[in-house]
Amino acid sequence: MNIDPISRRKFIKTTGAASVASLLVGAQNLHAAGANDKIRIGLIGLGGRGCGAGIIDCAEADSNIELVAMGDLFPDHLEDAKERIRQNMAKRNLPFKDIYKVTADTMFSGFDAYKKVIACDVDLIILTTPPVFRPLHFKEAVEAGKHVFIEKPVAVDPVGVRDIINTSKLAEAKGLTVVAGTQMRRARHIMAGIEQIREGAMGEILSGQSTRIGGALSNWRQSEAIRSKSWSDMEWQLRRWLFTTWGSGDFIVEQHVHNLDLVDWVMGSHPVKAIGTGGRQNRTDSIYPNVWDHVSVEYEYANGARVTHIGSQIDGVSSRNDMRIDGTEGRLFLSFAKVTIEGKKPFKYDGPRPNPAVQEYKDTLDAIRSGNTINEGKRIAQSTMTAILGRMAAYTGRNLSWDWAMNASKLDLTPKEWKFGDHAIAPVAVPGLTKLV
C-alpha cells in the first residue's frame, strides 16, 4: 500500500479556493436518517472518555439521540457506567432519561462485547476503547453497516494503520460516515489560521517546533493502579493500557497525535521521514509498565521542511502546549486556545469559538441525518501513522522513512489471542538496542 505524499503546491491548488470547513463534504449517503428521527447509538468502551466526553458531547450536540447499547471488557466498568453517565449529563443539564435507553439486555462485557453492541439495532457506533482494539472494532462496525465515531488514535502499529485504511475504503463504498476524534480540526481559530496559510500568508514553510509538556497522569485510574492478585498479566495490562505501548501506542501516539495531526494539517501532508530519541526517568514504578515519559522527534516533509516535536509526561514541571511554524513570509503561533501570524500578512483570530469537541459530534449526526457522508478514516490513519513513525524512530534510534514504515514494517503489537492469562510485555525501549521491525 503506497500512499503518496501531497505536495504543498498540489494541496494549495486543490484546497485553496475552498474554506477549510468545506473539506468535510462527502458523497450522498444511502443510510441517512430523517431530520426528526432519533439516532440510536451504541457505545463501546466505558472508561473516562466513553462515559464522559464521548456520549456527553454527543448528547450536547443533538439531544435527539438515544443511547441504546453499551459494552466494555470489564464487568465492573459496565456496572457503574449508567451512574457515571447520569452524573456527567447532569453537569451539563442534559435530559438523561430521554437519552439513556440501555436495558439489561443491551449491556455487554467481555472480549466479544463489541460484537454484541454492534449487532444491536443502532445507527452509530462510538468507539472509545483502548487504541489497540480500534482496527478490530472498526472493521466489525463497518462490515455491519454502522456509522462510526472513532476516537483517536486509531492504531498502535503500522499493521493496524493499514487495516484502518482498508476498512475506511469499505465504509466509503457502503456510504457510511466515519468521523475521527481529533476535535482541534474543528476549532474555529485553527481552521481560520489554516485558511490563512493556504492563501499564502506564510509563504513557503521552512521549519517548525511543536511542544507538548505536561503531567505524568499519575492519578489515572488510581483504584486500579495496584495490581490485584486475581488479575492475570493480560487483565493487569489492559487495566493499565494507557501505560503499555501495545495498548496505547505510548503517549506520543495516544495523546500527542492531536499535536502531530495539526502539524500535518499545517504542512498539507504527512512527513517523509523521522529521527528521534527519548526514554523514561520518572515513570520507573511498576504502575507504568513500559511507556516512556519524554520524547523528541524531528520530522522531515516533502518540501524539505523539518518540524521538531518535543513532548513529555512528567509531574512537577512547567507545562506547555503549542506550535511555532516559520515560513518565508511569516511565522505562525498556534495553540489549542489561539492562533496568530506575524509577518507581511499578520493575522489574529477573534471570532466565535464553539466547543470543537461538541462540533465533531454535531457534524457526525448532521451527516447521518442529511445523507452527506463524512469519511475521515484515511486522514486519521495517516495522522496516527505520523505519531507511530516518530515513536518507532525514537524507540530504535533509527532514521526511518514513511514509505518503509507505512508499507513494509511488520510491527504488530496486537496479542495473538484475546483472552485473560499470561502475557509477556516488552521491556522499556532503549534507542540503539530496541530492534526495528
Which pLDDT belongs to residue 32?
Answer: 53
Encode pLDDT of 72-126 as tens digits: 999 999 999 999 999 999 999 999 999 999 999 999 999 999 999 999 999 999 9
Whole-prediction pTM value? 0.92
Domain ranges of the chain: 1-21+193-352+377-437, 22-184
More confident residue, 149 or 5: 149
Average pLDDT rounded to a whole number, residues 211-218? 97
With pLDDT > 90 as the criterion, what percentage of the chain qualifies? 90
Encode pLDDT of 233-291 as tens digits: 999 999 999 999 999 999 999 999 999 999 999 999 999 999 999 999 999 998 999 99
> What CATH architecture is 1-21+193-352+377-437?
2-Layer Sandwich (3.30)
User: Which amino acid, residue 156?
Assistant: V
- Identify the weakest region by mean pLDDT among 1-15, 102-116, 123-137: 1-15
Which pLDDT belongs to residue 263?
Answer: 99
Who contacts 347 (Cβ-Cβ below 8 Å, separation ≥6)?
192, 193, 196, 201, 339, 340, 341
Show the cell assigned to 361: 459530534
152-191 burial, b if ≥16 CB within 10 A, otherwise e?
Answer: bbbbbbbebbbbbbbbbeebbebbbbbbbbbbbbbbbbbb
258-270 burial, b if ≥16 CB within 10 A, otherwise e?
Answer: bbbbbbbbbbbbb
Q: Which fold has domain 22-184?
A: Rossmann fold (3.40.50)
Which pLDDT belongs to residue 2?
Answer: 38
Q: For residues 43 and 51, what is the distance between their CA atoms, to the nearest angstrom?
A: 9
Half-sphere exposure of 394 (CA within 13 A, CB side): 30
Which pLDDT belongs to residue 13?
Answer: 35
Q: Does the structure show a pLDDT above 60 at 15?
A: no
Encode pLDDT of 21-63 as tens digits: 333 333 333 345 555 689 999 999 999 999 999 999 999 999 9
